Structure 1
């Protein structure tokens, strides 16, 4: 099973806070970081250093989707704050579903949330994440060349 983690974040969030929340949510779901194939977010946050570094630490790509695409996805926990900030009522859940659909090949209906939106436990939550399941064989590269180093998913590594 392949997993996509959707992430919403406030400006200036640290990679540590992102990785800590992702690790906690994966543990809660009984899953590990090796199952994660991508982090996904809204295009407005694609350059956020904490998100970029967190994806690097996880060994997966950070995929960004336009707010108008995310806004069309029905989610269980929409947010007025996200709508005001980035133009979509959902970042974490919608981004996870949209990206998981790319791996499953069936559109958002072909993927489902394994874990709905969770907020970081810090006083003022600066990160949200949700985990979606990608049903399908989206990890295998086309052309029969098998897996390559670029396809590998590495264990979550955190700085000491």
Structure 2
């Protein structure tokens, strides 16, 4: 199965926090990094070091969407806190859905790392016939 990751994280979350969140999210639906075709997030995170590094390490293309586009995507777990700070009620779920054109197979998976920072992962099946 080919999937797209939707990623969100606190500013300056460590690479290890993001890596652990992704690993646990994938494992929870019996997938591995080899099933991932790319990752997506909000454009406000296009300079987030951990996001850039994890995508580079896996060779995943990164897709960034503006808050306005993400806000148009119906999601199962909207958050008023995310809306307040990001201008959209969802980042990970909406980004995964927009980038994949498919459906969520893992809703918002939240993880708090040893650095005290939070990361969120959503996984959507690619709508590419594969």
Normalised to the residue count of structure 2, the TM-score between the two structures is: 0.93
Cα distance in 2 for partners of 1:121, 1:35 equals: 24
Map residues 55-70 of structure 1 onto 2, 5 A cutoff: 55-70=55-70
Q: Tell me which residue corresponds to 1:116.
A: 107
Say if 2:3 and 2:100, in contact at 8 Å, map to a contact too: yes
Say if 1:41 and 1:65, in contact at 8 Å, map to a contact too: yes
Do structure 1's residue 32 and structure 2's residue 32 form an aligned pair? yes
Say if 1:8 and 1:92, in contact at 8 Å, map to a contact too: yes
Secondary structure at 2:37's aligned position in 1? strand
Do structure 1's residue 77 and structure 2's residue 77 form an aligned pair? yes
Q: Paired residues, what number?
A: 129
Do structure 1's residue 87 and structure 2's residue 82 form an aligned pair? no
Secondary structure at 1:117's aligned position in 2? strand
The answer to which structure, 1 or 2, has the higher relative contact order (CA under 8 A, 6+ apart) is 2
Post-superposition offset of 1:54: 1.1
Secondary structure at 1:120's aligned position in 2? strand
Post-superposition offset of 1:125: 5.0
Q: Tell me which residue corresponds to 1:150.
A: none
Say if 1:119 and 1:125, in contact at 8 Å, map to a contact too: no
Pairwise CA RMSD: 1.5
After the TM superposition, list the runs of 4 or more consecutive aligned residues in structure 1 that deviate by more than 4 angstroms: none
Which structure carries more strand by proportion? 2
Normalised to the residue count of structure 1, the TM-score between the two structures is: 0.76
Secondary structure at 1:54's aligned position in 2? helix
Q: Tell me which residue corresponds to 2:128.
A: 136
Secondary structure at 2:103's aligned position in 1? strand
Post-superposition offset of 1:121: 3.5
